[in-house]
């Protein structure tokens, strides 16, 4: 898997969780990352059994997508040299810049599987996405809606598999410690800086939801919250709406503490205008918490309307307020949604299941997967955090039942 940059928490969690699960299933996995820190280039073995190789390509720091493009040739050269000496059975690229480096590096007939984390943006990005989509052996779409986007982009439907992201169902459970809370109902949302996050709408509707507090998990460290433009903007909205005393920003927290906070929620809200990955909804469902979500991207697949939560239209604050008020007033319905959500997270989105689906995509790309398979996973976090994530115990991953790739991930 190749990821030329860390394009967000969604990509980081997916690469780390998938690498750990594939390794636990008996595969030989190497994760290539672009070096983004002062740590020297080299290879390290993680506690989960896969290797992380840091490649020098551009400045040893995090850079924007546009800034990494000029360095992709150098990254491709490094990958190509390593793969000539030790060719993997399959290369899995994460993000379009990673895909571009992968198809440039591959000259030996090695299958390249591409995963996007959202499609569209600048003209340069769209051009690169189309190029990678045409050159990759197979594309692993993260949601059924992404399949339609890829087809409109020109990717042959026969070369597309639907492989969603996963969730650590051992870390995120309904059982365990729960964060302290008061007597108010608790609505939880997860921080994102994206302009389409829906957090502003959620802050505005809080005044229409009686006696409820909003906890926003994640973001910058607590020391930097007050200087972060998005936090200041949301706090200004809260002051104007008269709910500033009912909003809590936790700042960046460890993943274990994220699970504690999710367990303390009555409802988790995921209301962006687009969502290609959808980790927050899966983590909430795994914790047995009902989810109110916009029916967009990966959320339309993961959250089943009327079963594990409720779908709301994006950009409709009044409708969102009505749904939140009704659900907070119905404890039995929340419990039913929570139980169904936990079942769905375990059955469809555990890392074992996602790893099995990913291996089938590799096989359909032509990779040899009998016995021990060598996987080149190229990812760009480069901070060392990739080594510490995953949470999969070293046990063979059970193979999920065969499904048709034409079936959406909502199955």
Q: Do 273 and 314 meet the contact criterion of CB atoms below 8 Å apart? A: yes
pLDDT surpassing 50 at residue 198? yes
Please give the backbone phi and psi of residue 183, each rounded to the nearest 5 degrees, phi first. -85, -15
Q: Do 364 and 160 meet the contact criterion of CB atoms below 8 Å apart? A: no
Position 8 scores a pLDDT of: 54
Q: Do 206 and 234 meet the contact criterion of CB atoms below 8 Å apart? A: no
Percent of the chain with pLDDT over 70: 86
pLDDT surpassing 70 at residue 386? no
pLDDT surpassing 60 at residue 184? yes
Instruction: Rounding to the nearest 10 degrees, give the CA dihedral for residues 3, 395, 88, 117.
Output: -20
State the Cα–Cα distance between residues 407 and 411, nearest whole angstrom: 7
Q: Do 105 and 83 meet the contact criterion of CB atoms below 8 Å apart? A: yes
Read off the pLDDT of residues 218-252 as tens digits, 9 standing for 90 and up: 888 888 888 888 889 999 989 998 999 999 999 98
Position 222 scores a pLDDT of: 83
Pairing of strands 51-55, 42-45: antiparallel
Q: Do 321 and 210 meet the contact criterion of CB atoms below 8 Å apart? A: no
Element of type H or E holding 152 = helix 144-153
Residue 293 forms beta bridges with which residues?
270, 311
Residue 115 forms beta bridges with which residues?
94
Read off the pLDDT of residues 249-307 as tens digits, 9 standing for 90 and up: 999 898 889 999 999 999 999 999 999 999 999 999 999 999 999 999 999 999 999 99
Element of type H or E holding 55 = strand 51-55
Which residue would you say has higher pLDDT here, 370 or 122? 122
pLDDT surpassing 60 at residue 401? no
Position 399 scores a pLDDT of: 37
Position 7 scores a pLDDT of: 45
pLDDT surpassing 80 at residue 42? no
Confidence of residue 36 (pLDDT cuts 50, 70, 90): confident
Read off the pLDDT of residues 365-385 as tens digits, 9 standing for 90 and up: 999 765 445 666 555 433 334
The pLDDT mean for the chain works out to 86
Element of type H or E holding 147 = helix 144-153
Read off the pLDDT of residues 304-329 as tens digits, 9 standing for 90 and up: 999 999 999 998 989 999 999 999 99
Position 195 scores a pLDDT of: 62
Pairing of strands 291-294, 309-312: parallel
Position 230 scores a pLDDT of: 87
Inter-residue long-range contacts of 102-110, CB under 8 Å, 24+ positions, other chains counted: 102/2, 102/76, 102/136, 102/378, 103/131, 103/132, 103/135, 103/136, 104/72, 104/73, 104/76, 104/80, 105/75, 105/76, 105/77, 105/79, 105/80, 106/80, 107/80, 108/83, 108/84, 110/83, 110/376
Q: Do 332 and 374 meet the contact criterion of CB atoms below 8 Å apart? A: no
State the Cα–Cα distance between residues 346 and 102, nearest whole angstrom: 32
Position 65 scores a pLDDT of: 74
pLDDT surpassing 90 at residue 164? yes
């Amino acid at each position: 898997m190749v990821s030329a940059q860390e394009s967000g928490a969604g990509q980081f969690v997916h690469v780390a969780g998938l690498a750990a699960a594939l390794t636990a299933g008996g595969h030989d996995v190497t994760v290539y990352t672009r070096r983004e820190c002062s740590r020297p280039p080299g290879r390290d073995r993680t506690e989960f059994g896969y290797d992380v190789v840091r490649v020098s390509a551009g400045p040893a720091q995090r850079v924007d997508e546009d800034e990494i493009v000029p360095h992709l040739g150098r990254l491709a050269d490094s990958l190509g040299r390593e793969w000539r000496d030790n060719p993997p059975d399959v290369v899995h690229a994460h993000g379009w810049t990673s895909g571009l480096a992968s198809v440039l590096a591959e000259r030996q007939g090695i299958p390249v599987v591409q995963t996007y984390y959202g499609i569209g943006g600048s003209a340069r990005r769209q051009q690169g996405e189309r190029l990678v989509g045409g050159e990759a052996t197979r594309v692993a779409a993260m949601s059924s809606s992404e399949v339609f986007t890829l087809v409109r982009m020109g990717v042959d439907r026969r070369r597309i598999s639907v492989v969603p992201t996963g969730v650590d169902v051992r870390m995120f459970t309904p059982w365990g410690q729960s964060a302290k809370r008061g007597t108010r109902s608790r609505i939880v949302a997860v921080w994102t800086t994206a302009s389409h996050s829906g957090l502003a709408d959620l802050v505005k509707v809080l005044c229409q939801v009686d006696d409820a507090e909003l906890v926003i998990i994640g973001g910058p460290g607590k020391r930097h919250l007050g200087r972060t433009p998005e936090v200041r903007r949301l706090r200004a909205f809260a002051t104007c709406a008269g709910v500033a005393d009912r909003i809590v920003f936790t700042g960046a927290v460890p993943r274990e503490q994220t699970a504690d906070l999710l367990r303390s929620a009555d409802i988790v809200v995921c209301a962006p205008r687009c969502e290609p990955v959808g980790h927050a909804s899966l983590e909430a469902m795994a914790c047995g918490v009902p989810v109110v979500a916009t029916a967009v991207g990966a959320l339309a697949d993961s959250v089943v309307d009327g079963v594990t939560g409720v779908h709301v239209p994006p950009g409709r604050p009044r409708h969102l307020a009505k749904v939140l008020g009704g659900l907070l007033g119905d404890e039995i319905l929340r419990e039913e949604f929570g139980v169904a959500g936990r079942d769905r997270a375990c059955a469809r989105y555990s890392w074992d299941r996602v790893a099995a689906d990913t291996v089938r995509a590799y096989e359909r790309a032509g990779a040899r997967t009998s016995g021990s398979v060598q996987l080149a996973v190229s990812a760009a976090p480069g901070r060392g955090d990739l080594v510490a994530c995953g949470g999969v115990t070293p046990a063979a991953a059970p193979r999920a039942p065969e499904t048709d790739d034409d079936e959406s991930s909502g199955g």
